[in-house]
Structure 1
Amino acid sequence: MPTQEPEDSYVRVAVLVMLWLSLFAGVIATLVHWLSPVHHLLNLVVSPVGVAIFAGLIITLRRHPWRLQAVLYVALALGALRVIAPAWLYIYQAASTPGIRLIDVLPPVGSLFVILLMMVMIFIPGHRAFMAALLCWLPAALPILTYLALHPDEMWTPRGLDLLMAYGPVSLMVVVLLPVRRGLTDTIERMEVMLHRDPGTGIYNRRLGERVLRDLLSDTRSAGLIMLDLDHFKTVNDTYGHPAGDRVLRAVAGRCKALLRPDEYVSRWGGEEFLVLVPGIDAAGLHMVAERLQLAIAQLSLAPVHQVTASFGATMLDGADNFDTALQRVDRALYAAKAQGGNRVVLVEVAPAAAAA
């Protein structure tokens, strides 16, 4: 799995906010429909089902962050269904039942439709956003606009004009203006990503590594820390030249990045040192991650360098840790791996005194 990009973290937070707001809106809608003197089966079913689905999506995204895209698409599809189904149902009811007007029975879904288009244009990239917006607009907006055009007595009422504006010009403005805003946002985010990248290897730099480490220290979840240092790297530079050494660094960085989960981070700490941060793991799992990275690096084939190896120090973060104590302990583990000949993993346990503090 590819390592998670910083912008993915921003999108995940935004999607979680959207899901929580949708869940809250669904709960309110459910209460309103249940307390309403006139009950409609569609309203009594759709809102509670939506609440259950949104709650499930929130739990899924919290437990499996790498399923962000699937969760997002399910949420958008559910939002589209909640807008499209009432439109067709109440249009059919108004067209087939004498004395019933659409403007009197249609729920306030116009604003929901505009919000749905905003979510589509914000979260779906590139030209696919316009196609998705069109696929939402055709079954949701076009039938209502057609109905209003065929019933001018309803169209020229305040509610009719409100629907006309929501499904017509306002929708068009959302589709046209949001990509412009997103382009500006993407430019700013790309600049921020560049600030977090190490130019030599393409992975995260020390600045981002320090920030993620501080975040993990303030988190209640268990987390681990791995420091790796390439063995005899000075000899590689002296023997084969700095361009060969740079290729080794890029290859090691790429191999580590490819083997880590989306919520795990690798950053270049300095020179030939790399820092790996692993949230939501125990000591045994941390040791396995470090050994997997160690073996993968030892299997690299980079002519003219015969073999690349690295020494690994690993430690779990403790509730009593601060930034300095965590780094001192993982550095001590790395030094022990070096002292034992390199190309190995040394896991340093948290001292009992620190754990009891």
Structure 2
Amino acid sequence: MPDDLFFDQTVPDVHQPYVAAPDRYTHLGYRRVGDSGLLLPPISLGLWWNFGDNRPFDLQREVLRFAFDQGITHFDLANNYGPPHGAAEENFGRVLRTDFRPYRNELIVSTKAGWPQWPGPYGDFGSAKYLRASLDESLARLQTDYVDVFYSHRVDSSTPIEETIGALDAAVRQGKALYVGISSYSAERTERAIAVARELHTPLVIHQPAYSLLNRWVEHGLLDVLGRSGLGAIAFTPLAQGLLTNRCLQQGQVHASGGRTTLSDADLTAENLERLQRLADVATRRGQTLAQLAIAWLLHNDRVTSVLLGASTVQQLAENLQAVHNTGFTEAELAEIDEITAADAGVNIWAQSSDL
């Protein structure tokens, strides 16, 4: 088993030319995305809130360099990530153009469209007009000819699913994406999307749902659909927007990121605090933090390809990476976790907009 030294938190001078660590592929291992040929690291880096103009660029660069040096090859974006919208793609594009340029063939870069991006009726949801225009804008901000995965970011019940999947298919045929994915689709809508994609021979290979110890909706049908259909799953908000952290438990407050959708202190009910404390007790017995337990529990499920984490510092990312070295659970531990998390914690803030 790798030891903690693999996640050395020493940060080199970001103003020096970047050369990737020669041992970067020895730390994490990689998992196949469903039945496709694509492999992802067990932990991927999401650029939702910490990579906009609200954070110094050099700090972002430190995290991105460190992530790649530790074997994180997948960087997940969307057209509305910032703030402001588009800023995360622009900032990552700067690093992609300079530091990561020699390594582009080693990277999986994903982006999405589906949430409001510009005024008027053509900058929201899942029409071909919006998805195709948004991808062109994303490629310009990223300063790359293609992305590895392009997602429909959310459900659009007013647009025929044939049109939405058709737009994803067009992105592949035009060479602007290698694979496509969907996010926050229900089990039923996912089956419909898969059927359309197969008819078109579209490489729909992955679903990105919210999934955590406190938000287990995917276990009520979606994971079964993905397993039967050969699609991978990458879990976002694995720490339930910060609820599943020792800091939240110790301070009794939710530190909302201020992004598109956030939790609030109202979600930190007495029942949820009790759940968190009991989960923290399990983590302590395992020699883990609460966050590490939450990540390891997701990775224990072989239907989860990757866990999508955000990080504002190298130290935060290094600590959470330790979870990959202890993903085994006893039957007693799993039963205890199931008992603790059996009741709905009320934190699935995407449900209303995702037909769940």
Structure number with the higher helix fraction is 1
Tell me the TM-score normalized by structure 2: 0.22
Q: Between Structure 1 and Structure 2, whose CA radius of gyration is higher? A: 1
